[in-house]
Amino acid sequence: MKSRSAWLVYVVLRLVFFVVPFAALMLIGWTWWLSAIVATLAAVSLSVIFLNRQRSAASESIYAWRTKERTEDDVIEDEAVDAAESGAADDTSDSAHPPAAREQ
């Protein structure tokens, strides 16, 4: 399945899973906010149960799109930036306490 069609199928089915219960509840006279809450819960439940294949296809297309034009140099550079950021986060947590306070 193409990435665009995977996304389209997934989004349309998620919208249908919300709109149908919402419209049905509004037609029987429920308030809009209660209908929205119940329709959201129904949509989440239905999508978890029935859209596993579509969700997998959509996530694979995200991964393919994210990594399609990355060279080995890009990957190494991203790893270096991540390592530098995690090192900087460790340094800032230590700077909150002076060295004398840490030794005690």
DSSP state string for 22-58: HHHHHHTT--HHHHHHHHHHHHHHHHHHH-HHHHHHH
Domain assignment present for residue 98? The answer is no
Q: Is residue 39's pLDDT more than 80?
A: yes
Positive or negative, the CA dihedral 72, 75, 76, 77 is: positive
Domain assignment of residue 55, yes or no: yes
**For 7-32, what is each residue's pLDDT tens digit?**
888 889 999 999 999 999 999 999 99
pLDDT tens-digit readout, 73-97: 877 888 888 888 887 766 555 555 5
Number of domains in the chain: 1
Residue 99 within any structural domain of the chain = no
- Mean pLDDT computed over 52-69: 81
Where do we find the tokens 């997998």? 56
Domain membership flag for residue 72: yes
pLDDT of residue 100: 56
> Which range marks the domain in which residue 80 is found?
3-93
Is residue 104 situated within a structural domain? no
CA 45 from centroid of its chain's CA atoms: 17
Average of per-residue pLDDT across 66-74? 75
